[in-house]
Amino acid sequence: MVRGYRMISREAASLLAGLPPWDLEATVLARMHDLRVEMQGRGETPLPRQVAVWRTEFRRDLRVAWRLRLLQPSAGPAVIAAVSPLFEEWLERSHGVLSFRITQVLTGHDKFGRFLHRIK
């Protein structure tokens, strides 16, 4: 989970949360479905072990595609610069909640408190 203002880009929020972009996730699900349909068309049923192998392979492909996408970010460059060197470690971390302040710092919005003070 990520806590932050709505100004955080979708790209940055999904990276901070460790959740792949939905279009890449949908591609994995579609590939899994297509393989099952193909096997069922031949009268075969995929074994759970085979499905697990496919899932692992497609997840690896997803991470490669995600990492390539992050090389040309359309938004959230501060987050991407901070997390990219540790991409795999970030996705495998055991904790999952980022505080509001940490999210602000990672997204480059950490000066918001100073901005509010100026308005006063």
The structure tokens 């997803």 sit at 62
Q: Where are the domains of the chain?
A: 10-119
Tens-digit pLDDT string for the chain (120 aa): 666 666 677 787 777 778 898 999 999 999 999 999 999 999 999 999 999 999 999 999 999 999 888 887 666 677 777 777 877 887 787 766 677 766 666 666 666 566 566 665
**pLDDT at position 3, please?**
65
DSSP reduced 3-state for 70: helix
**pLDDT at position 16, please?**
77
pTM of the model: 0.67
Contacts of 79 by beta carbon, 8 Å cutoff, 6+ apart: 11, 12, 15, 16, 106, 107, 108
